[in-house]
């Protein structure tokens, strides 16, 4: 019977508003009657608000060194500058050096690859430059691509440069002025 009374009390508390009053009356047989309206011979019950609990905010899990490296690698990019610069003209070069300036410097495990006109230019492992011997005259497209150890591109830059080769038969060659012979001094007249 007491259990039924407690269930009734719980349901009354759940259905009544926070400011509603609850009344109790003890019957002759010892049972209690609860109501949200005043009962003859009953008293108002002072019901305290229910205790609440707020879970603490979860602590951020400690990241391992490897997890931090992966997170940093996902957002890492180099600032890069390729030489020869875009639209630069080179006059009669014996060779052209493709080079890249990286900020920050090249990290261990990153790979630099150069290409000229779509063909890869071989270079030394870990080097930031590659040399092309006696390039043809005309316009050329140079490309540098730096990838990290996970294969992600962290720098990709292209420039177009021009090689000019002038020779004696070139219509753009300025003729070299040859000095004219000086007139000989006048001869004295015979007497």
The domains found in the chain, sorted by start residue, are 2-45 (no CATH), 75-164 (2.60.40.10)
- Give the neighbor-by-neighbor strand order of the sheet with 79-83: 79-83, 95-103, 129-133
The pLDDT, as a whole number, for residue 174 is 61
DSSP state of 104: S
Residue whose C-alpha is closest to residue 125's, from 109, 141, 140 = 109
The pLDDT, as a whole number, for residue 171 is 59
For residue 57, give both structure tokens.
């905010």
With a threshold of 0.75, does the pTM exceed it? Answer: no
Residue 107 neighbours by CB under 8 Å, 6+ apart:
148
Stretches in the chain below the pLDDT threshold 50: 16-17
Measured CA to CA, the distance from residue 51 to residue 142 in angstroms comes to: 72
The pLDDT, as a whole number, for residue 16 is 47
Measured CA to CA, the distance from residue 99 to residue 76 in angstroms comes to: 21
């Amino acid at each position: 019977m007491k259990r039924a009374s407690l269930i009734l009390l719980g349901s009354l508390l759940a259905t009544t508003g926070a400011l509603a009053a609850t009344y109790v009356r003890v019957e002759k047989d010892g049972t209690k009657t609860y109501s949200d309206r005043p009962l003859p011979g009953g008293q108002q019950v002072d019901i305290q608000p229910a205790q609440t609990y707020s879970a603490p905010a979860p602590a951020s899990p400690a990241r391992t060194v490897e997890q931090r490296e992966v997170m940093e690698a996902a957002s890492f990019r180099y600032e890069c500058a390729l030489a020869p610069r875009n639209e630069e003209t080179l006059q009669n070069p014996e060779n052209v050096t493709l080079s890249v300036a990286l900020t920050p410097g090249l990290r261990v495990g990153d790979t630099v690859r150069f290409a000229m006109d779509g063909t890869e230019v071989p270079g030394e492992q870990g080097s930031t430059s590659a040399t092309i011997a006696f390039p043809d005259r005309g316009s050329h497209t140079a490309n540098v691509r730096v990838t990290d150890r996970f294969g992600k591109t962290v720098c990709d830059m292209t420039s177009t440069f021009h090689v000019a080769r002038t020779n004696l038969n070139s219509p753009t060659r300025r003729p070299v002025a040859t000095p004219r012979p000086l007139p000989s001094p006048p001869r004295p007249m015979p007497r």
